[in-house]
Structure 1
Amino acid sequence: MGRLLVTLLAVIATILGSTIDGYESKVVQFIFGDSLSDVGNNEQLPRSLAKANLPWYGIDFGDGLPNGRFTNGRTVADIIGDAMGLPRPPAFLDPNLDEDTILEKGVNYASGGGGILNETGSYFIQRLCFHKQLELFRGTQDLITYKIGKNESRKFFRNAAYVVALGANDFINNYLMPVYGDSWKYNDQTFVDYLIETLEGQLKLLHRLGARKLMVFGLGPMGCIPLQRVLSTSGDCQEKTNDLALSFNKAASKMVEQLSATLPHANFKFGDAYDVVDDVIKNPYKYGFTNSDSPCCSFGQIRPALTCIPASTLCKDRSKYVFWDEYHPSDKANQMIANELIKKFGFLRADAGVPSPAPAMAPSADD
């Protein structure tokens, strides 16, 4: 009887082991970020003031209804993941998320209004800062460890791809606003130093939690987003804001490179698309755009209308606009940014099965 029990246990272990090995071969993504990468987390935060739950968000994605993305179509992370043949991870707060979905698709923790710093974006009431996103990731690891065991869980998380795309809100919705203490506590250089030091600690924690293949997205020329332009007296880009983005990118690139060289088995990369986005904004016609200074979705002459709302009017051709709303790029612009990063890092395109955006014609037009 004892020998039979041992044999049965060995058979069960073999069966379970082969099932678990299937998880090991599945490479998924874990995405940490702000509204540029959010795919629905803020929709599940009842008191959040940063939401993309109104028409015409999502008009060029799937069924054309709002889906939590702060744009008309895909995010940069969507497009790069598609090119790498990776599944699109659902929002952590998606009510349908379970362990099996995590093992098949990964998780997206990005939250509109979130930042590297805990205090960033506090006037949005509810948002997930990077610190909170990391806490949720730890909880995810506990769930997966309970399901497939410690050893296989470790392999699963070490084989995954990681994206960190944060920082813009720390400037636009923190340092550059006098309602925040950071705006008078720091100067430009010391604030960038504070951000980089905080981010470095967070990336080291991610490494301790198993992240080996990680990309940190740099900041674009955020002084040229429509909101920054309309708040200036001339309507031009705010060069101080752009200089802050450049300073952050320079320091973050150096820090990420050092981490990749010193942390065991780390393959960390810094994705900097500042130059190409800057060129698109300065020379839109060169890239097939006709407008790079105002949003496609706007409320007529009333600006800034901080979000796209049902009463807003849409531009005639969304593929000709660099910006979708006052803050966020359009699907077409996100495609340009993603293409630059794909080219820079040699990602192989996987065209099979990549969803195509819907035709970029608006139901209502305003020249």
Structure 2
Amino acid sequence: MGPVFIFGDSTVDVGTNNHLNCTARSDHPYYGIDYHRSKATGRFSNGLNPADTIVELLGGYKRSPLPFLALVEDHSNFTGAILNGVNFASGGAGLAKDIGQVFGEVISLEEQIQQFATVRGNITALLGESRGDLLLQSSMYILSIGSNDIMTYIFTHSMTPELFITNLTDTYAIHIKNLHNMGARKFGILSVAAIGCCPMARAYNGGPCGDEPNDLARAFYVSVQSLLQNFSSTLEGFKYSLGNTYNMTMNIIDNPIGSQFKDVKSACCGNTTQRSVSDCTKGVYLCPNRDEYLFWDAFHPSQAASKLAALALVTGDDPEFVSPINFSSLRRA
């Protein structure tokens, strides 16, 4: 089985943004408080994030492959490390190129795929064309992106919701085709979660979940599902697994008793009331029982939530949460 390559936004960023001049960063306390030696690594989590928990369950990894920019900075490690996979994800990134500019420098999905093209060139130079191609075709490509596009749309309403979802899906299609043209065959896709229920959206909405972001997240899932079904019959060798993180989130929020979480509404870090939310920085409120919180900060899941999601994606068999196959079946395919 080939390496794992990870693309996306802050849900799977493991330190890309530490290397950028941007404000979307988490390389400061209390981020990483439950990571090894309480190190703030640039993960938007109290510990591991979905990129880590997914690859650990897939096997062969303790945590996510290193960020591309970290490998570029430490070039001595570059050629050996890329054969183990690379993480290109950047907090704030979107499917559309201009998403995230409010944070300063952010690596859009288009640029992440250009970085992958560099890695691909290095792999084929190392292994030769045919062995390199075989490795890339057996590799897994995990993508988690789209929530920043939806949140940006909500503040601009630049077109009808239907046209927005169509345009967003068309943009996704271009990115997936570009990866496919470079040899990618196995796509593990994480849909947009119930972002209307994150602490920031609740605070904005005065307590309850926001309907509009949730409606768009659901519509985008349906549209992406249809795109992937189409690609599996039109693109050579294309295989996919689609994770419904929207349903996963709502399942926990609607049935908190059945889950390990005692708080499914507020942020563990920086938030003490339903109606106010603050940045997660040293000195703000920090919950003592972090494994009982669904949300770590105003936007992102806790390490405990990431582990639960990874189980559903990698080894689960509930089509409500992952379909048509799970991530481990995709890896072996």
Aligned to 1:28: 3
Partner of 2:312: 340
Query: Do structure 1's residue 42 and structure 2's residue 17 form an aligned pair?
Result: yes
Alpha-carbon shift at residue 346 of structure 1 (Å): 4.6
State the secondary structure of the residue aligned to 2:177.
Answer: helix
Return the alpha-carbon distance in structure 1 between the equivalents of residues 194 and 67 of structure 2: 27
Instruction: Supply the distance in 1 between the matched residues of 2:57 and 2:271 (Cα, whole angstroms).
Output: 35
Query: Equivalent residue of 2:155, what SS?
Result: coil
Looking at structure 2, the residues matched to 299 and 84 of structure 1 have their Cα atoms a distance apart, in angstroms, of 34
Structure 2 partner of 1:165? 144
d(CA) in 2 for partners of 1:29 and 1:220? 22
Which secondary structure state, in structure 1, belongs to the residue aligned with residue 80 of structure 2? helix
Counterpart of 1:57 (choices 4, 10, 31) is: 31
1:135/1:331 CA distance change after superposition, 3 Å: same
* Contact 1:27 1:86 (C-alpha < 8 Å) held by counterparts: no
CA contact (8 A) 2:268 2:293 kept: yes
Alignment equivalent of 2:277, drawn from 296, 304, 313: 304
Helix, strand or coil: the match of 1:63? helix
Contact 2:241–2:326 (8 Å) recurs in 1: no
1:211 corresponds to 2:187 = no
The structure whose Rg is larger is 1
TM-score under structure 1 normalisation? 0.82
Residue 152 (structure 1) aligned to one of 118, 131, 134: 131
Per the normalisation by structure 2, the TM-score is 0.90
Aligned residue in 2 for 1:177: 155
Letter in 1 for 2:190: F
* Structure 2 residues not aligned, in runs of 5+: 318-324
Q: Is the 8 A contact 1:257 1:270 kept in 2?
A: no
Name the aligned partner's letter for residue 247 of structure 1.
Answer: A
CA 1:165–1:231 in structure 2 vs 1: closer, same or farther (change >3 Å)?
same
Q: 1:300, CA displacement in angstroms?
A: 4.9
Change (3 A) 1:168 1:86: farther
Partner in structure 1 of residue 294 of structure 2: 322
After superposition, the C-alpha distances for 1:182-215 in whole angstroms (9 at most, x for unaligned) are x32x111100000000101110111110001111
Alignment-derived partner of residue 93 in structure 1: 69
Q: Secondary structure at the match of 2:174?
A: helix
Q: Say yes or no: does 1:137 pair with 2:116.
A: yes
2:90 to 111, 119, 123: 111
Partner of 1:7: none
Rounded to whole Å, the distance in 1 between the matches of 2:30 and 2:258 is: 27
Shift of residue 56 of structure 1? 1.1
Q: CA RMSD in A?
A: 1.7
**Whole-Å Cα distance in 2 between the matches of residues 258 and 62 of structure 1?**
42
Aligned pair count reads 314
Segments of 5+ residues of structure 1 without an aligned counterpart are: 1-25, 350-367
Which residue in the other structure is 1:258 paired with? Answer: 230
- CA deviation after TM superposition for structure 1 residue 257, in Å: 1.4
- Residues 280 and 287 in structure 1, CA contact (< 8 A), matched pair in contact too: yes
- Runs of at least 4 residues off by over 4 Å: 299-302, 346-349
What corresponds to 1:359 in structure 2?
none
Contact persistence 2:266–2:272 (CA under 8 A): no
Asked whether the equivalents of residues 115 and 169 of structure 1 are also in contact (C-alpha less than 8 Å), the reply is yes
> In structure 1, what is the equivalent of residue 240 of structure 2?
268
- SS class of match (1:322): strand
